[in-house]
Chain A
Amino acid sequence: MEGLVAVGILLVLMIIGIPVAWSFAGVLAYLAYIYDANFNTLMLQGYRSIDSVILIALPLFVLTGYLMQSGGIAHRLVDFIEVLVGKRKGGMGASMVLASGIFGAIAGTSTAAVASIGTIMIDPLEKRGYPRGYSSALLGISSLLGILIPPSITMILFAVVTRQSVAACFAASIGPALLLIAGLILANRFSIGRLFHEVSVGAQDGLENLPTKGQATVKALPALSLPVIILGGIYGGICTPTEAAAIAAFVAILIGFFIYRDLNVKRLGHSVISAAETTGTVILILLFSFMIGRILASERIPQELTEAITAMVQDPLMILIAVNIFLIVTGMIMDDVSVTVVVAPLFLPLMVSSGVDPIHYASIVACSVVIGANSPPVAPILYMACRIGKVSIHQAVMPAIALMVFVGIPVMLVTSFVPELSLFLPKLLGLM
């Protein structure tokens, strides 16, 4: 009951136009009041939640994203992509999906992809006729490939809490990731001509003088070295993903100043401050949703909901469906970390007794996080995508829901009912 009231308050505050961060703070005030929270420790818990080394990758990758734009890196990359995908139908949208997948292999979080890919691609996409709301929604869900493609902080958290092998969990979600990539590219292709019209290359200013494939590739090489440096740094054992984020920002500055020479001190300052502002807005939302999650967890609300489901349904198939629904619904109203470490593990015993392998369940949970992080009202990744895409949230909500319904949820269902999709790779690698 209190939970429903809280969701109601959140919706009302957000719809009348209270900034999202303050809407969360408002709900927090309500929950703190009705559950008599301890004010000595409430903000302390919030502070602890955002005082995380892993989270430091967020400002750094946001900064890299801005620097890629102001330093001319984005521009060269986009030229390169334009030349490569040519006039293929839906090519630019597909490129964003694939680029997000590549970023997913670089970073453990999805925010990196939102910041970097979004800053680079949303403007060019608009030039090609993609509505900003649609692009932001596509960006939101594509960026969550970062959760399915290892390394993934979500999978690490899940494995740690449920005592499963991290490597096996990593390998398990690769299958669903490939399925999601295929689904998104198909959905994008299908949207063209139905939701909007793609403008062909050449009809637009600047696009008719595209460089040749060779020229574009040569010019893009320094830009393309960036993912190589990040990946090489991580897989070459030089740095952690968080540290790689700092290296990425630094290299982006170097390339911008000395190779493309598009960057100057003034533009650098401007990028840094814009990045700080974007980071700040996202962090405040995270801060308050973490605190809401903490109150709910200490009142055992997720746990009680779980028990209610267990009491209602017994058939294994129905249980699997019920857990899917439950994960999606909690994902709508809670942040991904709370879902991963508090809610999802509660169902593990139930899943195992219904014949679902824990590693298989890990990839189901990962899929639910992909959906949850994009489903309002608590949709941090979608909101961040809107912010990066400079578009109001209500313009992105419908495309986001459509992508959830036609791609996200089907991928989650296939993942749930075709265990081999998840288990093939871990078995092949001898991890289980």
Chain B
Amino acid sequence: TLKMATDSGAKGSPAGDTLERWAEIIEQGSKGEIDVKVFYQNELGSQNEVFDLHVAGDVDVMLNWPMTSYDKRIGVIYTPYMTLSWGEALKAYSPGGWVNEMLGGIYSDLGLKFFGPWPEGFNGVATRGKYATTIEEADGLKVRTMTVFPAPQTMQALGYQTAAIDWGEVYTALQTGVVDGEAGNVIYWDYEYFRDQLDYYVRSKHFFMTGVLSMNADSYNDLSPEHQQIVAKAAEEVMQQQFTAARAQDNFYVKKAEESGMKYFELSDEQIKEFARAAREKVWPLMDKEIGSEIMDNIRANATQL
């Protein structure tokens, strides 16, 4: 029996559907020899907890959103403006791509087998009342960010004020105006959870958001070589599906958001580059200190030229 879980994504969400399909392929491929138990968002606890279980081998297979508590280097995934287009991003995250290889190494140090990324798309800033397409316009807008380094630092580089607010309190904070917006997710999350509170979504593209398909290394080694093959191939299959489906999914939720009354903004290349220059100038030196110059030099060598 394999326990499969995700930290973000209820049953029926894109992530939830992926788990369901992944489990199905494994069960069919092994002709029922491997039984997969699927656990969706929150069923086994918070994001931290489920990842703890994964590292400890209680959750064998997982679609997880990288957490930096075990290893700061996982934060490379949140290097602002590493890649600026879908084409580049998908190439970097594909097997053999430079981000993919970097993540694989870090995951294996944690005792996890890295199957591949599960891309969601470029993120943005969802706000209420006002919105910003330049650093100057962002002045005075207070947004909630992830607490992961360097998410707040990046938003500050883009001119925003930031606030650390627990995910469970975000809705109330938006409703009462403690913050003017929620920054850092693909539009799906803002549409799904906060659409009645938010008016604007500006695709600032500071991070390319992705989940990771992985397996606990001990659990993996306990499987027979044939079963290892089945699980890994199934992972590759759902990953490939997501590579083609991610953009369509993202566009689908842009439409849904627009239908629900949210205004959606794409930025021009010039606007994006202005953001990118500011973030690279202010945040990348901090990252040298936090995750090491070796990784950052690799990023400098491979990142999109401005």
Q: Which residues of A contact B (CB under 8 A)?
A: 38, 40-41, 44-45, 48-49, 52-54, 108, 151, 153, 156-157, 159-163, 165-167, 234-242, 294, 297-298, 300, 341-342, 345, 431
Q: Identify which of B44, B48, B171, B177 contacts A166 (C-beta below 8 A).
A: B171
Contacts A167-B196, A431-B196 given; does A240 touch B173 at CB 8 Å: yes
B20-53 interface code vs A (CB 8 A; 1 in, 0 out)? 0000000000000000010101111110110011
Q: Which residues of B contact A (CB under 8 A)?
A: 3, 10, 12-13, 37, 39, 41-46, 48-49, 52-53, 56-58, 165-166, 168-169, 171-173, 175-178, 192-193, 195-197
Across the two chains, which residue of chain A brings its CB closest to B164?
A: A53
Distance of A418 from chain B, by nearest CB (Å): 25
Q: Identify which of B44, B52, B175, B178 contacts A44 (C-beta below 8 A).
A: B52
**A17 CA / B49 CA spacing, docked (Å):** 33
Are A41 and B166 interface neighbours, CB within 8 A?
no
19 more CB-based (< 8 A) A-B contacts, given A157-B168, A160-B42, A161-B41: A40-B56, A41-B52, A41-B53, A45-B52, A48-B45, A48-B46, A48-B48, A49-B49, A53-B168, A108-B172, A163-B192, A166-B171, A234-B172, A240-B165, A240-B169, A241-B169, A242-B169, A297-B44, A298-B58
Are B43 and A341 interface neighbours, CB within 8 A?
yes
Are A54 and B166 interface neighbours, CB within 8 A?
yes
Q: List chain A residues, Cβ under 8 A from B49.
A: 44-45, 48-49, 294
Are A163 and B176 interface neighbours, CB within 8 A?
no
Are A54 and B168 interface neighbours, CB within 8 A?
yes
Contacts A161-B10, A167-B196, A297-B44 given; does A41 touch B176 at CB 8 Å: no
Contacts A38-B58, A163-B10 given; does A239 touch B52 at CB 8 Å: no
Distance of A290 from chain B, by nearest CB (Å): 9
Q: List chain B residues, Cβ under 8 A from A342.
A: 42-43
Q: List chain B residues, Cβ under 8 A from A235.
A: 176
Across the two chains, which residue of chain B brings its CB closest to A151?
A: B172
Contacts A41-B58, A44-B52, A48-B52 given; does A54 touch B45 at CB 8 Å: no
Are B45 and A240 interface neighbours, CB within 8 A?
no
Q: List chain B residues, Cβ under 8 A from A40.
A: 56
Q: Identify which of A237, A294, A300 contacts B45 (C-beta below 8 A).
A: A294
The 7 closest A-B pairs by CB, nearest first: A237-B177, A53-B166, A41-B56, A48-B49, A166-B171, A341-B42, A151-B172
Are A236 and B10 interface neighbours, CB within 8 A?
no
**A341 CA / B43 CA spacing, docked (Å):** 7
Q: List chain B residues, Cβ under 8 A from A165.
A: 195-196
Q: Which of B10, B39, B58, B172 neighbours the largest number of chain A CB atoms within 10 Å of its CB? A: B172
Are B172 and A298 interface neighbours, CB within 8 A?
no
Distance of B274 from chain A, by nearest CB (Å): 30
Contacts A40-B56, A298-B44 given; does A239 touch B172 at CB 8 Å: no
**A241 CA / B192 CA spacing, docked (Å):** 23
